[in-house]
């Protein structure tokens, strides 16, 4: 595609994963980058202030560790009033506008993969 994505295009990937259409998706990685990740080494801006070369893993991890150690605000999660819901409260010392995206990850989750994507399987075999 030869261009950087618009925020709406990135959001569509997240919306798909949060939708019923992705109900059969498990343990997959989705690159929502228009194919650019294989063509160049992106610049990463950590916490809106530190520029890091995306391929410099050590520098990236160091920047994330350093800047993540400085709290900027607070996010509280609690059980919602309706079954199966979560209430989110977010507070920052200064006024901020924009969207808040949360990704909850189960650190100990394991998926047993029976076969790899696009593996050739004889007709009739599931």
Q: Which residues of the chain have pLDDT under 50?
A: none
pLDDT at 49: 82
110 sits in which H/E element: none
pLDDT at 29: 66
Q: Residues 3, 7, 12, CA angle at the centre, nearest 5°? A: 100
CA 51, CA 49: separation in Å to the nearest integer? 7
pLDDT at 81: 92
CA 57, CA 53: separation in Å to the nearest integer? 8
pLDDT at 126: 52
pLDDT at 84: 86
pLDDT at 8: 84
Q: Is residue 14 a contact partner of residue 101, using CB atoms and an 8 Å limit?
A: yes
pLDDT at 27: 55
pLDDT at 62: 92
75-82 long-range contacts (CB < 8 A, ≥24 apart) are 75/100, 75/102, 77/102
């Amino acid at each position: 595609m030869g261009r950087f994505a618009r925020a709406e295009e990135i959001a569509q990937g997240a919306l798909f994963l949060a939708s019923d259409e992705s109900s059969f998706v498990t343990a997959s990685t989705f690159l929502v980058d228009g194919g650019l990740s294989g063509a160049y080494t992106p610049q990463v801006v950590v916490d809106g202030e530190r520029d890091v070369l995306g391929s410099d893993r050590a520098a990236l991890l160091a920047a994330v560790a350093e800047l993540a150690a400085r709290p900027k605000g607070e996010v509280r999660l609690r059980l919602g009033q309706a079954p199966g819901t979560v209430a989110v409260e977010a507070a920052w010392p200064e006024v901020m506008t924009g969207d808040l995206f949360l990704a909850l990850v189960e650190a100990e989750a394991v998926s047993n993969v029976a076969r790899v994507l696009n593996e050739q399987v004889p007709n009739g075999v599931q």
